[in-house]
Amino acid sequence: MSKSSLVHYTTVTRDVDAPIGELWGLVAGFGAEKAWYPGAISVSLEGFGLGSIRTFDYVYPAGKNKGKRYTFSEELTECDASKHSMTFRVRRPDYPDMIAFGTTVLDSLGPNKSRFRWIAEGSPLPDEYMAVLREDLDERFDRLIVAMANQLVKDD
């Protein structure tokens, strides 16, 4: 399946009170998410750079799926540090036939403010699956962006 045949699942956008370089330091730590990723029981990494695969042992920390545990993996497929952007192929056991990609993009809004966009796209899904997936991703991406922002809060 070519990237041009992918459909948009969702985009979650939040502004973060942190310099883009500090936020990028967390986002670009591919495989080092356990320190800030709510619900990550463990994160392992195979390889380094493009083609590396991170595997999460995950439990939903909140919401309607609270306590549900599963393992999923993501393969780093693109990274552009100059644009503060990276894309990874997502493999989820609850959607085994889905081809999906997540993309994180950061934009500087000033010396101490950044915009974080988390974009999900993939193969077409039936409407009933799309609605469930979109709800899950919206909640998760928002929670993850907040968790990263909280890591960067300055203690005065």
Instruction: Give the mean pLDDT of the chain.
Output: 92
Name the band, by pLDDT with cuts 50, 70 and 90, for residue 1: low
CATH 3.30.530.20 assigned to domain 7-152? The reply is yes
- Predicted confidence (pLDDT) at residue 155 exceeds the cutoff of 80: no
Tokens of 101: 């990609």
Q: How many CB atoms lie within 10 A of CB 154?
A: 8
- Whole-prediction pTM: 0.90
Q: What is the C-alpha separation between 31 and 3, in angstroms, rounded?
A: 24
Of 46-50, 58-62, 92-96, the range with the lowest mean pLDDT is: 92-96
Tokens of 124: 């077409």
- pLDDT number for residue 111: 94
Tokens of 5: 């045949």
Domain map of the chain by residue range?
Answer: 7-152
DSSP 6: -
Q: Which amino acid is at 152?
A: L
Q: How many CA atoms lie within 13 Å of 126's alpha carbon, on the beta-carbon side?
A: 4
Which residue matches tokens 């800030």? 36
Name the band, by pLDDT with cuts 50, 70 and 90, for residue 106: very high
Q: What is the C-alpha separation between 67 and 63, in angstroms, rounded?
A: 9
In contact, 42 and 34? CB cutoff 8 Å: yes
- Predicted confidence (pLDDT) at residue 97 exceeds the cutoff of 90: no
